[in-house]
Structure 1
Amino acid sequence: MQTTATRVAAVTVTLRGVDRTFGAADGAHHVLRGIDLDVDAGEVVALLGASGCGKSTLLRLVAGLDRPSAGQVMIDGARVDGIEARAAVVFQEPRLLPWRTLAENVAFGLPDGSPRGSRHSEVTHALDTVGLGSFAGYRPRAVSGGMAQRTALARALVRRPGVLLLDEPFAALDALTRLRMQDLVDDLQRTTGATVLLVTHDVDEALQLADRVVVLAPGADRAAGSGIAHLLDVPGARPRDRADPVLAALRVELLDRLGVPRQRPLPA
């Protein structure tokens, strides 16, 4: 799909000594501990790790939907303090209002103070960008899951975010739709130049879309929370060939680090 997305001012994302703990001191649950990460403007970084290791929590901290227990989260050098206007989040579920049309749902993403005269054109452009221009008047129940998730992506894009935060946005989709959505996001990122943080459990997805992969995992003291266990630079320019043998080798490496050893053949 050829997109016509608007170029944005990409931003850097910096985390310094970030901890996140839930609960009181006598019953605290440590999720993240000592996270130090620098994401360059326009870079795509995938966050991998087992369920409960803090991937989505880290994303919420960058978006300003949550606050760190210690440390700092910064966008373009400015500390995140509350909802971050330069960030937009796409969640695992589309979270569309069922009584609103797709266009009306996208319009909810427009920044406060958007000129009334340009709102319609901005929404139309965002829907066209994700290939849904002819479905603007449809309601969510009348479209497929993949189309609903594209609508959620358009709602994020209409904000023209400097950093796009994707929290397992394709997890509920069928395999073929998921591949198409991966290609769409890859195309959109290269067109807009936005910085992207992607949470995923899919190693192949991470290698297809990311410039770097960050593996989160607990240390020897699992109760202390997760830290960055491994950083992997993914070679080659995007878009990438899914059949590239280099990616296949990296897939094995990442699965090993995630505790998923390669399958052994059955004994004869």
Structure 2
Amino acid sequence: MLADVSLTLAAGETVALLGASGSGKSTVLRLIAGLDRPSAGEVLVDGVPVRRTHPRAAVVFQDPRLLSWRGLAANVAFGLPPGTPRAGRAAEVAHWLEVVGLAAYAGHRPSQVSGGMAGRAALARALARRPGVLLLDEPFAALDALTRLRMQDLLDDVQRTQGTTVLLVTHDVDEALRLADRIVLLGDRPASVVATLDVPAPRPRAHDDPTLPPLRGELLRRLGVPHHRPLPTPPAQEAVR
């Protein structure tokens, strides 16, 4: 359940939503996407109330949700905007598969690739829509560490070149600091915004940007994670005679 959640995203801004499991992060994303309806209050995109899924928005869930009977290329094609010329569809699909490193797997079905590869195909499907608003629910959670860093770089590049507005739901503090202009912390019972932190470092940001560690410590403190907690001293043992 959400309570007192007021959130504004500026055009072209990347906002990360952080909080414990069950704090309502995914619920906020689903409301913005038009997949759920609020029992009170309203959601606006470009000043217009959201009553159903919005044509300018694309969603990437932690579960890729690909069509199992279609190959990866056909899944990506499913995300193309209505009215895309037939002559350009194949080239557009091929471009986004190449971007996410799946060009060699265009004909593979979701069951024939790893979960991480399926996640990359889901991201390509969303990007193929060239959305004005991109809603991401932990899209990189299933990826190995190196691929995750590459996909973060890709998302950052796409966002900056296309001016997409991004809402990123994540549990990863470092990912939020790497990608977001602003980080919003949700508390739970019931869920509400408890803090907002601007990330002043200019983007693109290096993974080892020296300005980020102090912000990381501040985020962990606000999330209630102790920076250092010594291990308890084990009880003394008597010598065996």
TM-score (norm 1): 0.81
Per the alignment, residue 13 of structure 2 pairs with 43
The partner residue of 2:48 within 73, 78, 84 is 78
Deviation digits for residues 131-158 of structure 1 (CA, Å, limit 9, x no counterpart): 3334322333343433322211111012
Runs of 4+ with >6 A deviation: none
Report the count of equivalent residues: 233
Secondary structure of 1:47's aligned partner? strand
Instruction: State the 1:265 CA deviation.
Output: 4.1
Stretch moving more, 201-210 or 129-138: 129-138
Look up the equivalent residue of 2:21 and give its one-letter code: S
Deviation digits for residues 44-70 of structure 1 (CA, Å, limit 9, x no counterpart): 000000111110000001110011111
Per the alignment, residue 121 of structure 1 pairs with 91
Verify: 1:264 aligned to 2:229, yes or no. yes
- Identity percentage of aligned residues: 68
Look up the equivalent residue of 1:155 and give its one-letter code: R
Can you give the 5+ residue segments of structure 1 that lack an aligned partner in the other structure?
Answer: 1-30
Per the alignment, residue 157 of structure 1 pairs with 127
Secondary structure of 2:30's aligned partner? helix
Instruction: State the 1:193 CA deviation.
Output: 1.4
Could you tell me whether the CA contact under 8 Å between 2:173 and 2:216 is conserved in 1? Answer: yes
Per the alignment, residue 200 of structure 1 pairs with 170
Structure 1 vs Structure 2 CA RMSD: 1.8
Per the alignment, residue 108 of structure 2 pairs with 138
Query: Aligned equivalents of 1:97 and 1:267: distance in 2?
Result: 50
Verify: 1:89 aligned to 2:59, yes or no. yes
When residues 180 and 145 of structure 1 are mapped into structure 2, their CA distance, relative to the original with a 3 A threshold, is farther
Look up the equivalent residue of 1:73 and give its one-letter code: V
Can you give the 5+ residue segments of structure 2 that lack an aligned partner in the other structure?
Answer: 234-241
Per the alignment, residue 14 of structure 1 pairs with none
Which structure would you say has the larger Rg?
A: 2
Verify: 1:237 aligned to 2:207, yes or no. no
Per the alignment, residue 184 of structure 1 pairs with 154
Query: Aligned equivalents of 2:55 and 2:231: distance in 1?
Result: 54
Per the alignment, residue 236 of structure 2 pairs with none
TM-score (norm 2): 0.89
Per the alignment, residue 10 of structure 1 pairs with none
When residues 106 and 267 of structure 1 are mapped into structure 2, their CA distance, relative to the original with a 3 A threshold, is closer
Secondary structure of 1:156's aligned partner? helix
Name the structure where strand makes up a greater proportion of residues.
1
Per the alignment, residue 228 of structure 1 pairs with 193
